[in-house]
Structure 1
Amino acid sequence: MFEGFHHVALIVSDYAVSREFYVETLGCGVIAETFREERQSWKLDLNVPGGGSLELFSFPNPSDRPSRPEACGLRHLAFRVANLDTVVAHLQSRGVSVENVRVDALTGARFTFFADPDGLPLELYEVVEN
Structure 2
Amino acid sequence: MLKAIHHVALICSDYERSRDFYSKTLGLRIVREVYRQGRQSWKCDLEVSPGVALELFSFPSPPPRPSRPEAQGLRHLAFAVDSVADAVRELSGRGVTCEPIRVDEYTGRRFTFFADPDDLPIELYEA
The TM-score normalised by the length of structure 2 is: 0.96
d(CA) in 2 for partners of 1:86 and 1:51? Answer: 25
Alignment RMSD: 1.0
Contact residue 67 and residue 120 of structure 1 kept, 8 A: yes
d(CA) in 1 for partners of 2:110 and 2:53? Answer: 24
Q: Return the offset for 1:31.
A: 1.1
SS of match in other structure, 2:35: strand
* Divergent runs of 4+, >3 A: none
d(CA) in 2 for partners of 1:77 and 1:103? Answer: 18
What are the residue-to-residue correspondences of 1:38-117 with 2, within 5 Å? 38-49=38-49, 52-117=52-117
Tell me the percent identity.
61
Q: How many residues align?
A: 127
Paired amino acid for 1:21: F
The TM-score normalised by the length of structure 1 is: 0.94
Q: Return the offset for 1:49.
A: 3.2
d(CA) in 2 for partners of 1:113 and 1:40? Answer: 32
SS of match in other structure, 2:92: helix
